Amino acid sequence: MGYNEIRGNKVKEMLVYLTSSCELNCEHCFLPDEKPVKQLSLDDLDWLTKTFEIKSVNLLGGEPTRYPYLKEAIAMFDKVTISTNGLAISEDSSRSKELIDTFKSKGKNISIQLSIHGNQSDTDAVRGPGVWQRVLAAADILKKNGIACYFLSCYNSENLSHIPWIIDQISHPLNMPLTLFPEIGKPPLTVDEQKWLFATIVKKNNEYKERNLVAQPHFFQWLGMPGRCSAGSERLCLTYNKDIVPCHFDLNYILGFVGSKLEVINRNRESFLKSSKRISPSCDFCSKSDVCRSGCYISEAYTGCPLKRNFTLERYAIATHIDSAALSNQISSMRKLLKGSLICP
Ligand code: SF4
Ligand code: SF4
């Protein structure tokens, strides 16, 4: 069976919006301000686990640490990633102690994704004053408790130049990978900007023997891996409105609801895969297009894919004398990070 196909009730990645509640009001947040707060019930989650065979789940919100049944939700899935703003993790709160104990009890089957938005001034401007310091404090506590964690930052052409600083000053000293995702709602990066970004990540990883990455299918294609958007095929999302949608950024394409029959959801997944995952004509030339299918349909970052200018990893490695053994170590390290967490592609 090929990529971009569905496999009965098997879903590799399920993203779940547990609650609409969040203490922040980030500038770029695309979720409506729900009043009253909407949240899933444990019965909804029970339906999810009985309907699908799920390999890995990402619990998000709103802010998932505000979900009153987070402990129970974590226990319902084998492998869990929590996407959090980090504010609930602090030195002196009983809720934080409870969360740390819950995370620790899941052992190697949990990872925590901490959101930032570039450097300190970018993050505080978008997420709120003082947020940066609190996220770093949370990272420190999670690390001290041996809980796997990584940063997720949105990028756009305005905060792009801050990425080397974040790697040098934050993610490297903390030994915490930086994963990057294009900011939805901002124009995609140009080819030259993406060339610079991809090259910077490989260069920094080579320097520090680390595994920072750009969470985009075409970045992995560029690295020689089968990067693809798995929305609708290997990936689904359950929203706090109880809708099943293909991707956590695509809340309007409804495939079914809590309680829908699997056959109905799967028929809708088939139609989605046929009609909405089209390869852009500008990618027709590309030998990787059958799998990549123009990458992330939400971010449209394919418009600036470096392969469109024949900027390949091989060419970059030759020009910069990065040896192939170092490169393959770096790539297999990224693979491990992808396996242990729930990141696109
Ligand atoms: S050129 Fe298009 S199909 Fe090929 S890797 Fe880039 S985004 Fe994917
Ligand atoms: S690659 Fe983009 S569209 Fe596909 S699942 Fe990831 S975020 Fe969604």
- pLDDT per position in the chain (345 positions), as tens? 577 889 999 999 999 999 998 887 777 777 778 889 999 999 999 999 999 999 999 999 899 999 999 999 999 999 999 999 999 999 888 999 999 999 999 999 999 999 999 999 999 888 889 999 999 999 999 999 999 999 999 999 999 999 999 999 999 999 999 999 999 989 999 999 999 999 999 999 999 999 999 999 999 999 999 999 999 999 999 999 999 999 999 999 999 999 999 999 999 999 999 998 889 999 999 999 999 999 999 999 999 999 999 999 999 999 999 888 889 999 999 988 887 777 776
CATH T-level fold of 10-339: TIM Barrel (3.20.20)
How many angstroms separate the alpha carbon of residue 344 from the centre of ligand 1?
A: 15
Q: What is the pLDDT of residue 1?
A: 58
Q: For residues 211 and 61, give the distance between their C-alpha atoms in angstroms, rounded to a whole number.
A: 26
Q: What is the pLDDT of residue 33?
A: 80
Q: For residues 33 and 22, give the distance between their C-alpha atoms in angstroms, rounded to a whole number.
A: 9
Burial class (CB in 10 A: 0-12, 13-18, 19+), 196: middle
Q: For residues 345 and 333, give the distance between their C-alpha atoms in angstroms, rounded to a whole number.
A: 15
Decide whether any atom of ligand 1 lies within 6 Å of the 59 Cβ.
no
How many angstroms separate the alpha carbon of residue 229 from the centre of ligand 2?
A: 5
Q: For residues 327 and 318, give the distance between their C-alpha atoms in angstroms, rounded to a whole number.
A: 11
pTM recorded for the entire structure: 0.94
| Residue-level length of the chain | 345
* Mutation test residue for ligand 1: of 223, 229, 288, 291, the one with most atoms within 8 Å of CB: 288
Q: What is the pLDDT of residue 336?
A: 87
* Mutation test residue for ligand 1: of 286, 308, 312, the one with most atoms within 8 Å of CB: 286
Q: What is the pLDDT of residue 7?
A: 93
Domain boundaries, the chain: 10-339
Q: What is the pLDDT of residue 345?
A: 63
For 309, residues 6+ apart whose C-beta sits below 8 A from its C-beta are 191, 195
